[in-house]
Amino acid sequence: MSFISYLINGLGLGSVYAIIALGYTMVYGIAKMLNFAHGDVIMIGAYVALLSMTHAGMPVLPAVLISVVACTVLGLLIERVAYKPLRNASSSLAVLITAIGVSYLLQNIALLMFGANAQTFPSVVKWKGLSLAGGKLTISGETLVTIIVCIIIMIALILFVQKTKPGQAMRAVSEDRGAALLMGINVNGTIALTFAIGSGLAAIAGVLLCSAYPSLTPYTGAMPGIKAFVAAVFGGIGSIPGAFIGGILLGIIEIFGKAYISSQMADAIVFAVLIVVLLVKPTGLLGKKIQEKV
Amino acid sequence: MENVLDVKNLGISFGGLRAVNDFSVSIKKEQLYGLIGPNGAGKTTIFNLLTGVYKPDSGKIILDGTDVTGKSTIDINKAGIARTFQNIRLFSQLSVLDNVKVGLHNNHSYSTVESIFRLPRFHKVEKEMNEIAMELLEVFGLKEDANVQAQNLPYGQQRKLEIARALATKPKLLLLDEPAAGMNPNETEELMEMIRFVRDHFHMTILLIEHDMKLVSGICEQLTVLNFGEVLAQGDTSTVLNDPQVIKAYLGE
């Protein structure tokens, strides 16, 4: 029984990683940059939701909605101010280092505004969850909601990218930015839209993460951010289903590692798995193999 | 007849190299115009100047009476210049149909919000775009391959698809960068037919870069020969090709 309950907890945690990894992977696929500030957008999203609920006394759904809007605007702002001016910089390192800078900036702004003390995050899920097999197996409401939300987001995103005009523009920009520009695609707008979607998802991930692990500090987003990045690489960066599978697998590996090996070693195990996967399959599980034609 | 394109004294330098100097050309509506010259003469640089990829240091580009000098690539595309590439640059992972639809984006719009909530406009515009794209594919004999990934098309078909995608942007002027590159004589023959067809069927004005002299002398009505970034000769195809200076530039003394 405990095996199944670990597995379900792993799925729950993995779903949060998957939602965060989607943001990483879309931005990488389309803007060809690693947005290391993505994890900290999650933290900001969680704070916005927390303040809306506790200070403004809002119900859950409007609070989450405000958080999504706030993060979308934040994502657009970061892209416009920090990344867009560097888009044609000679070295792609410039924008990478800027992203790390933005990450620390967000952490320190949060530190100034909200202090370093951990705040208790009220769960957004009021549902008690399921009790199965005569009470031997309980699944929390948070876990179930997280898994369901993740699956919905995943399907919606794939439909959006495959079936709509902005999605088509995204795929075109991701393949050949120059050719897309010459065919009249608004490349800057497409990249901004990608950031908006990724950051909006980050807000949802933040709320779900803090509902499951209800302690919020300015550093809350950092570690899940890095792990989601690992998940994105694990699944094959640039691939949306890859981010989903990578996130889920990473969550399961982490929970099993904690349960069966050592709770202190869990993070080390996660990163060790990444190293092994990259050694065996450098493009990640679903990554595209790049064939050099000669 | 009025000119679709008027280029006056266009020039650009890269560092100390004058890549294009004092380049002028006028192209009439529905004309087939050729731009030829030895490798490194600056032909593709001129295409990049015309499409806004590079900004000229000097000179003017007038498209159909509107000054488009120094405008951004996207604005120039909207104004009506579309191109194909020397090395095919299709969106290789997208389907043939989607490649053409990307070209339609500029003239067909619905907002992201409309697409997320699937509002009626989304369906209407998507239907329109599908119809126009399928019509174009039919004209180019690619209709059966609409759902094939572009990278799986044979080479010659990929060239056709690139032209279809460029036409989808509704250009006034179509730029073809070495359309016959890598084609055998039969394919080149077919391509010549197709270029003529595009001109007649779409009433298109076409400027093309080409090394294949058979194609150039076969379909181009007027020519400009470029050498070291400067115009060497300009005028009717037969006159230009018999110009001793041109023969010298191509074959040496």
Q: What is the structure's pLDDT at B122?
A: 84
Neighbours of A181 (CB within 10 A): 21
Instruction: Tell the burial category of B154 from Cβ atoms under 10 Å away from its Cβ (0-12, 13-18, 19+).
Output: exposed
Q: What is the structure's pLDDT at B175?
A: 95
Q: Cβ(A107)–Cβ(A116) under 8 Å?
A: no
Q: Which of B90, B92, B102 sits opposite A185 (nearest CB)?
A: B102
Decide if B53 and A182 are in contact by the 8 Å CB cutoff: yes
From A13's Cα to the closest Cα of chain B, the distance in A is 27
- Non-local CB neighbours of B81 within 8 Å, separated by 6+ positions: B50, B51, B63, B68, B171, B172, B173, B175
CA-to-CA separations, A243 to A2, A26, A199, A206, A270, in angstroms, rounded: 27, 9, 15, 17, 15
In angstroms, rounded to a whole number, what is the distance separating the alpha carbons of residues B108 and B58?
Answer: 34
Q: Cβ(B52)–Cβ(B3) under 8 Å?
A: no
Token output for A219: 């550093």
Best mutation target, A153, A183, A201, to test chain B (most B CBs within 10 A): A183
Please list every residue in chain A whose beta carbon sits closer than 8 Å to the beta carbon of residue B77.
181-184
Low-confidence stretches of chain B (pLDDT beneath 70): 1, 251-253
| Chain B touched by A176 (CB under 8 Å) | yes
Q: What is the structure's pLDDT at A290?
A: 57
Best mutation target, A153, A177, A182, to test chain B (most B CBs within 10 A): A182
Decide if A182 and B82 are in contact by the 8 Å CB cutoff: yes
In angstroms, rounded to a whole number, what is the distance separating the alpha carbons of residues A59 and A52?
Answer: 8
Please list every residue in chain B whose beta carbon sits closer than 8 Å to the beta carbon of residue A180.
91, 102
Please list every residue in chain A whose beta carbon sits closer than 8 Å to the beta carbon of residue B83.
182
From B150's Cα to the closest Cα of chain A, the distance in A is 12
Q: What is the mean pLDDT of each run of 10 residues along chain A (294 residues)?
A: 88 95 93 92 96 90 95 96 88 90 96 92 82 79 92 93 91 91 91 95 95 92 92 89 93 92 88 88 77 50
Q: What is the structure's pLDDT at A289?
A: 60
| Chain A touched by B179 (CB under 8 Å) | no
| Chain B touched by A180 (CB under 8 Å) | yes
Token output for B68: 């488009």
Q: Cβ(B167)–Cβ(B136) under 8 Å?
A: yes
Closest CA to A287 of A239, A217, A247, A245: A239
Closest CA to A124 of A216, A207, A217: A207
The ipTM (two decimal places) reads 0.71
In angstroms, rounded to a whole number, what is the distance separating the alpha carbons of residues A278 and A272?
Answer: 10
| Chain A touched by B93 (CB under 8 Å) | yes
Q: Which of residues 125-164 of A touch B (CB under 8 A)?
A: 160, 164
Neighbours of A7 (CB within 10 A): 15
- Cα atoms in the 13 Å half-sphere on the side-chain side of A225: 26
- Taking CA–CA distances from A172, the nearest residue in chain B reads B91
In angstroms, rounded to a whole number, what is the distance separating the alpha carbons of residues A191 and B236?
Answer: 46
H-run or E-run covering B17? strand B17-28
Q: Which long-range contacts (CB under 8 A, 24 or more apart) does A59-67 make?
A: A60/A124, A60/A126, A63/A124, A64/A124, A64/A203, A64/A204, A64/A207, A67/A203, A67/A204, A67/A206, A67/A207
| Chain A touched by B238 (CB under 8 Å) | no
Token output for A125: 């899920």
Domain ranges of chain A: 2-222
Instruction: Tell the burial category of B172 from Cβ atoms under 10 Å away from its Cβ (0-12, 13-18, 19+).
Output: middle
In angstroms, rounded to a whole number, what is the distance separating the alpha carbons of residues A170 and A190?
Answer: 6
